[in-house]
Structure 1
């Protein structure tokens, strides 16, 4: 089997409302659908979500690097020779989301051609993941109302609260209102998206002590090394690296230098292959991992479930899998459902991200 084409299709689907957080806000899913075609008719599919304010990649840059930088060298290669294909992509620095999508599409080809679900090829630990829902910047009572609604409608009992606002009292109030309204059995953790300084983060931890918060993700910029390490040393809960650890090398640096004590894995920026490397590093060092969300579509979310459910460590915590509910539409032909707070893997060959071609034609940008 040989690769005959790499296709990068830009598309745009509006969100039902703006999603706001410390590092920016989004109104539309301006993503790129990646397809790898083969001479045997097997096609691998993945979604690439640009995040220019975090990683620097844009919709245009992903199309350019996939079709005009990667494709000329990858066409003609065997899609099962992932190491060789990764060596080609590694000649180009950065562009993690583009590389990750190509990798997931390669795994999709492997599973489809072998007649096996990719979650089985990756490890097959379980058949579903618990869902964590992300709560964005809103007044405290609105956040509580949203959490209660998601708990009632979908059975979700884990919530990630986006913080990093000033004054700090806005986020502290949100923590207090959520804990009082949700009770002690619901998990709440924080993600500041680098919105605070280390000292501000320590003040928030001091003032929320006793609320049972479980994790603090990317509280300040990891490049502020002294402040970040002082914060990690003093934090009573794990400090999670996310934007600071897009690669296995970054994760190694931050964990070994004291920049974090847990890691967020996002398949949208690492693919499955590098995600396995990051996971192996974390399990070897004995640190927790979470499965994160790149404000993914259903196509991206099913990829996260595929990887997360495949491994014991990644399925131990609820994964951030519900942001597709904020979209006005999606491309997945067989939509995702959340049942009793869980999303199940697709029990079919490949990743299971079949595309509704009519919707793709409607939302594509060229």
Structure 2
């Protein structure tokens, strides 16, 4: 079986409301559908969500690098030759979500060829994950109302609170209001998207010590090397590295430097192959992992739950698997369903996904 073609189809689906956080805001899911074709008729599918304010990729750059650089490099290889594929992709620096989408699409093909679910091939620990929901920047009462609606509608009891605005007023106030409204049975953690300084972070965490936060994620800039070490050294809760660890090498650097004590794993950024390496690294070093979200659509979320459910380490915490709820529509023929706070792996071979051709025709941007 050989790779014969790679499609990179730009599509755009609006969000029901803007998603706002310290590093930017998103109004439209302008993603790229990636489909890898083989000479035996099997097609692997994944999604590449560009985040220019984090990784420098745009929808146009993903389409271009896949079409003009990656496709000529890996056409003719077998999907099983993953080491060869990655060696050729890595000749080009950067472009993490473009590479990750190709990797996941290849795993989809391998699962179909083996007549097995990808999640079982990756580890097969479970067939479901608990779900965490992100609450973005908004007036405090709107944030509380959204969290209560998500809890009551979907049974979700873990919430990531976006911080990174004014730490001593807006952010702390929002966290306190959420804890008061949701009670102690709900898990809360915060994500600063590098919006605070180290000193602001330290003061804000002292002000919230009674809120029983599970952990804190990327509160201050990744290049504030000494500030991050100082902050992490005095923290009583785990510090999660996210944007600062786009590669396994970055994971090693941040952990050994004392700049983080937990790692966010995003399949949209490291695919299945490199994400497995990250999880293995963290397990070997006794470090917790969390399945993060790149504001993925349902395709990306399906990939994330397939990977997260496959590993014991990634099922210990709720995964960030609900951002697709904020999208006005999606491309899957059979939409994902969150029930009792849980998202299940899609049954079937490969990733078990099918694209609705009418929806793809409606939202694609290249015709």
TM-score interval w.r.t. the shorter chain? over 0.9
SS at match of 1:156: coil
- Taking the aligned partners of 1:105 and 1:168, their CA distance within structure 2 comes to 44
- Per-residue deviation, 1:167: 5.2
After superposition, residues 53-132 of structure 1 pair within 5 angstroms as: 53-132=53-132
- Per-residue deviation, 1:2: 0.6
- Taking the aligned partners of 1:53 and 1:43, their CA distance within structure 2 comes to 31
Q: How many aligned residue pairs are there?
A: 366
**Deviation by residue 1:144-172 (Cα, 9 ceiling, x = unmatched):** 11111111100000000000002531000
Per the alignment, residue 193 of structure 2 pairs with 193
Contact 2:167 2:204 in 1 (8 A): no
> Is 1:331 aligned with 2:331?
yes
> Is 1:3 aligned with 2:7?
no
> Is 1:48 aligned with 2:48?
yes
The structure-2 alpha-carbon separation of the partners of 1:316 and 1:167, relative to structure 1 and needing over 3 Å to count, comes to closer
- Taking the aligned partners of 1:279 and 1:205, their CA distance within structure 2 comes to 27
SS at match of 1:125: coil
Per the alignment, residue 352 of structure 2 pairs with 352
**Deviation by residue 1:95-144 (Cα, 9 ceiling, x = unmatched):** 11100000000000000111100000000001100000000001111111
- Greater than 3 Å deviation, 4+ residue runs: none
- Per-residue deviation, 1:240: 0.5
Per the alignment, residue 174 of structure 1 pairs with 174
- Taking the aligned partners of 1:301 and 1:354, their CA distance within structure 2 comes to 14
SS at match of 2:97: helix
- Taking the aligned partners of 1:173 and 1:166, their CA distance within structure 2 comes to 10
SS at match of 2:87: helix
- Per-residue deviation, 1:353: 2.2
What TM-score results when the alignment is normalised by the length of structure 2?
0.99
Per the alignment, residue 207 of structure 1 pairs with 207
Contact 2:167 2:200 in 1 (8 A): no
Per the alignment, residue 142 of structure 1 pairs with 142
- Taking the aligned partners of 1:192 and 1:8, their CA distance within structure 2 comes to 32
- Per-residue deviation, 1:236: 1.1
After superposition, residues 179-258 of structure 1 pair within 5 angstroms as: 179-258=179-258
RMSD: 0.6
Per the alignment, residue 29 of structure 2 pairs with 29
What TM-score results when the alignment is normalised by the length of structure 1?
0.99
